[in-house]
Amino acid sequence: MNAFDYDRILPLVADHQLKGRTLAVSFACPTTGVTASAQHEIDVNGPLGQTTKHRVKRSFFHAIRGPLSSAIRSLFGYSTAGRLAGDVASQVAYVAATPKSSMAISDAEHQAGIIAAFRSVADRFAWDPTAGTWQGRTAAAVG
Domain ranges within the chain, ordered by starting residue? 6-44+105-142, 48-102
- Tens of pLDDT, residue by residue over 13-72, are 999 999 888 999 999 999 999 999 999 998 755 554 555 666 777 777 777 777 877 777
Would you say 38 and 48 are in contact if contact means Cβ atoms under 8 Å apart?
no
> What is the pTM (predicted TM-score) of this model?
0.59
CA–CA separation, 103 and 99 (whole Å): 8
